[in-house]
Chains A and B, each alone.
Chain A
Amino acid sequence: MNNHWIIAPVLLPAFTAVLLVVAQRGGLRLQRLLSAASVVALLAIAVGLWMLAQGGPLAYAVGDWPAPFGIFLVLDRLSALMLLVAAVVAAAALAYAVLGWDRRGAHFHTLFHFQLLGINGSFLTGDVFNLFVFFEILLIASYGLVAHGGGAWRLKSGFQYAAINLVGSTVFLFAVGLMYGVTGTLNMADLAVRVDDLPAGDHALLRVAALLLFTVFAVKCALAPFHWWLPGTYSAGAAPAVALFAVLTKVGAYAIIRMHTLVFASDAAGVSASLQQLLLPAAAVTLVLGAIGVLASRTLLQLASHSIVASMGTLLLAAAGLEERQLSAALYYLLHSCLIGAALFLLVDLVAAGRGRLADRLLPEAPAPRALLLGTLFFVAGMAMVGMPPLSGFVGKVAILDGLRGTPGGGVAWAVLLGGSLLLLVGYARAGSTLFWKAPAAAGAGAGAGAMPLPAAGSPAGQSTAGPIAVVCLLLGATAALSLLGGAVMEATNATAGELLDRNLYIRAVLPAAPHLEP
């Protein structure tokens, strides 16, 4: 009865990670081979699961224990979509890592696959405590990945990142405990059923649990006022690790969307209304803070990190409403934001690597190597991030604006979105012109004065940059494909949003005998 492919995205990285520990003796080449083969297989499985999910939500009872006692994995369109985009970003991040980054510290590949295990598990699980466990798995792997490459900065920011997330985990446990104390279940489908006919005396406790849970997810997806950990951590981390972290923030957004549409959808105990009241302003503030951060950035890494914050704000602004158009736009933007976030961090790494001691600082003193090619790529990535046509950021933002039309608070949301985009545009234009336009002129003047201690422009120390550039191009090509195939992708996200809003489908998949709930 169980379709075992559903658990494959959890088992495959788990086995690969363990195998990679053993393969440590076989040298880096063997590890790379195993790791790449596993990610390619994961990609294929994700595509297969997306096809499978078209037939409606499917439940997988782990150990064949009946609901609601056993742990369930549930594959629906949303989880399949998230698995797919995670696998694509993972493939790109791994391809970049294989070109040299994985040499800088032990166990990169092992940690990478443990992180994938946590990410995939969070997308699939249908149990709140199990979600906590998968969160912990992805976090403990990410602590290792933040510190990958070593150095005082990474260790210290790894400590800060671990501390903030451990507090988050504690709050998560408080929320889970409260929820279990009030409803007597942790199975998401069962929770949705029981929340609906909860005695009024328990409503206050449930609201506390829901808001604590929301706080945890807000920390994960860098929602203001919990966004300040992100720029520091993402600036310090190794490029391929941070590229995978682009999916990590989306795990928080996924969890918010899932709880919002499944467990608390019917506004029992007023949870949904208070969440919406919180989410909309928080998302707007996040977007504004991110945009201001981009404008104020003095390094490329800060610029990229604050762009991630701004994109999370944009995404959650759309996801705050429980309407099909809004959710669909949010999901489309989520796909775009994963791809472009990863591409941007890899590109920043490439640009900074060629600039010698100046690295990623936004000063026009060092000539950027391959200024034309990298400058063009930065232009394209910037346009996609800001949301200018013709790339997917534009399509996503238009869809979000369209979805917000006529909703309460929609006018303010429009103003924030458009104003934020303008700030982002100015920030990117300034960064790009400083790096790629002013730099050659300044370098020429400097060389004339004989004061150029920097190494000659070009590929550093004979290192080929063709491979890394190809990886960035592939990611940017994927965002272009997202907008070229915009119609088809939108249809897919529309279907996903429609399925999310009819939560009886999900509940019936887990609990066939469940009563019919108000959508």
Chain B
Amino acid sequence: MEPLVASGIGMLTAAGVYLMMRRRTMPVVIGLTFLSYGVNLFLFAMGRLAVDKPPILSPGITDYADPLPQALVLTAIVISFGMTALIVVLALRGYLDTGSDEVEIRPEDRLRDFGSGTGPGAGARSGE
């Protein structure tokens, strides 16, 4: 079982890292989800791989599965789910606002506002 789980984690992580290097936002988002799958499996495996062991205290049993990594994985899944949702929204809004799906920021998009008012500083361009 160990080689199977280990190679699964490795492949998920490798796929995630490869996709992270892409130029467009959507592959990057998918790469991030692959990475989080990989790490979730890894966390789970840190409780040692075992079959047919109860995670809950019950009389007459001395050999338990470690429930803590499972709790950690649950937390990690919830967090990575929320983060993925957020980054999808950021990617989508970025695409809708600029018409480009590139991760890189074009020089003409480097526009921002300054100051606390709505004076002439608003909408000025920073950068070269």
Residues of A at the B interface (CB closer than 8 Å) are 96, 99-101, 104, 129, 133, 136, 140, 143, 147, 149, 151-160, 162-163, 166-167, 169-170, 173-174, 176-178, 180-181, 232, 235-236, 239, 298-299, 301, 349-350, 352-361, 454-455, 459-461, 463, 465, 467-468
Contacts and interface: CB of A to CB of B under 8 A. Distances in A.
Interface of B: 16, 20, 25, 28, 32, 35-36, 38-40, 42-43, 45-46, 48, 68-69, 72, 75-76, 79-80, 82-83, 86-87, 90-91, 93-94, 97-98, 103, 105, 109-121, 124-128
A104 B20 contact: no
A432 B42 CA distance: 52
A129 B120 contact: no
Contact of B35 (A170, A353, A360, A459): A170
A176 B125 contact: no
A173 B128 CA distance: 39
Nearest to B87: A162
Contacts of A349: 114-116
Contacts of A178: 46
A179 to B, nearest CB: 9
A170 B98 contact: no
A158 B90 contact: yes
A90 to B, nearest CB: 17
Given A136-B83, A463-B117, A357 B125 contact: yes
A460 B39 contact: no
A359 B114 contact: yes
A177 B43 contact: yes
Contact of B121 (A154, A159, A163, A359): A359
Given A352-B115, A359-B126, A133 B75 contact: yes
Give the dominant DSSP class at B's interface: helix
Contacts, number: 181
Contacts of A158: 90, 94
6 contacts: A147-B90, A173-B43, A177-B43, A235-B127, A355-B121, A356-B121
Contacts of A152: 94, 97-98, 105, 109, 111
A352 B36 contact: no
A455 B87 contact: no
A136 B120 contact: no
A177 B97 contact: no
Contact of A174 (B42, B90, B117, B118): B42
B80 to A, nearest CB: 8
A505 B32 CA distance: 40
A96 B72 CA distance: 39
Interface of A is mostly: helix
B120 A461 contact: yes
A140 B121 CA distance: 29
Contact of B79 (A133, A301, A459): A133
Contacts of A459: 119
A389 to B, nearest CB: 31
A96 B43 CA distance: 43
Nearest to A159: B90
Contacts of A96: 116
Contact of B111 (A143, A151, A232): A151
The 9 closest A-B pairs by CB, nearest first: A353-B115, A460-B119, A100-B116, A463-B117, A359-B124, A353-B121, A181-B46, A353-B114, A461-B119
A198 to B, nearest CB: 16
Given A359-B121, A460-B119, A463-B117, 17 more contacts: A140-B82, A152-B94, A152-B111, A155-B90, A166-B35, A167-B20, A170-B38, A177-B42, A235-B127, A299-B127, A349-B116, A352-B121, A353-B116, A355-B121, A356-B124, A357-B124, A468-B116
A140 B39 contact: no
